Amino acid sequence: MTQEGSAASRPDFDAIIVGAGFAGMYMLHRLRKLGLSVRVFETGDGVGGTWYWNRYPGARCDVESLEYQYGFSDEIQKGWTWTERYAAQPEILRYQNYVADKLDLRKDIQFLTKVTAANYDAQSGLWTVETDKGDRLRTPFCIMATGCLSAARVPDFKGIDEFSGKWYHTGNWPHEGVDFTGKRVCVIGTGSSGIQSIPIIAEQASHLTIFQRTANFTLPAGNRPLAQEEITRTKETLLADRERARQTRGGLICFEYNEALAEEMTPEAREKELMTRWTQGGFAFLGAYGDLMAKKEANDIAADFARAQMRARVAKPEIAEKLMPYDHPVGVKRLCLDTGYLEIFNKPNVELVDVREAPIERITKAGVMCGGKEYEADAIVFATGFDAMTGAILGVDITGRDGQKLREKWAAGPRTYLGLGSAGFPNLFFITGPGSPSVLSNMIVSIEQHVDWITDCISKLTSGNIRSIEATKEAEDQWVAHVNELAAESLYPQANSWYMGANIPGKPQVFMPYPGGVDVYGQKLAEVAAADYEGFLLGA
Contacts to ligand N01 by CB under 6 A: 61-62, 149, 155, 170, 188-194, 196, 211, 213-214, 334, 337, 355, 360, 383-386, 439, 498, 503
**Which partner in ligand FAD, ligand N01, none is near 310 (CB below 5 to 8 A by kind)?**
none
Question: Amino acid identity of 192?
Answer: S
**Which partner in ligand FAD, ligand N01, none is near 190 (CB below 5 to 8 A by kind)?**
ligand N01
443 is a site residue for ligand FAD (CB under 6 A): yes
Alpha-carbon distance of 304 to 431, in angstroms, equals 37
DSSP secondary-structure letter at 112? S
Alpha-carbon distance of 22 to 147, in angstroms, equals 9
63 is a site residue for ligand FAD (CB under 6 A): yes
Question: Which of residues 147, 281, 282, 435 is near ligand FAD by CB under 6 A?
Answer: 147
CB of 163 or CB of 386, closer to ligand FAD: 386
Alpha-carbon distance of 13 to 408, in angstroms, equals 28
Choices 61-69, 283-291, 474-482, 529-537; region in contact with ligand FAD by CB under 6 A: 61-69
Question: From the centroid of its chain, how far is CA 381?
Answer: 20
Question: Which of residues 13, 36, 49, 93 is near ligand FAD by CB under 6 A?
Answer: 49
> Could you tell me which residues come within 8 angstroms of residue 95 by beta carbon, excluding any fewer than 6 positions away?
69, 80, 82, 87
CB of 147 or CB of 522, closer to ligand FAD: 147
52 is a site residue for ligand FAD (CB under 6 A): yes
**Which partner in ligand N01, ligand FAD, none is near 337 (CB below 5 to 8 A by kind)?**
ligand N01
Question: From the centroid of its chain, how far is CA 414?
Answer: 16
SS3 4: coil
Question: Which of residues 15, 16, 17, 23 is near ligand FAD by CB under 6 A?
Answer: 23
Given phi > 0 = left and psi -120 to 50 = alpha, else beta, which region is 289?
beta
Alpha-carbon distance of 131 to 162, in angstroms, equals 32
Site for ligand FAD in 394-433 (CB under 6 A): 395-396, 431-432
DSSP secondary-structure letter at 434? B
Alpha-carbon distance of 323 to 417, in angstroms, equals 40
What is the total count of residues that contact ligand FAD (CB under 6 A)?
37
Give 383-431 as a DSSP string: ---B-TTTHHHHTSEEE-GGG-BHHHHTTTS---BTTTB-TT-TTEEET
499 is a site residue for ligand FAD (CB under 6 A): no
Q: What x/- string results for residues 126 through 145 when contact with ligand FAD is judged by CB under 6 A?
A: -------------------x
245 is a site residue for ligand FAD (CB under 6 A): no
Residues near ligand FAD (CB under 6 A) are 18-24, 41-44, 49-50, 52, 54, 59, 61-63, 68, 114-115, 145-150, 193, 392, 395-396, 431-432, 442-443, 447
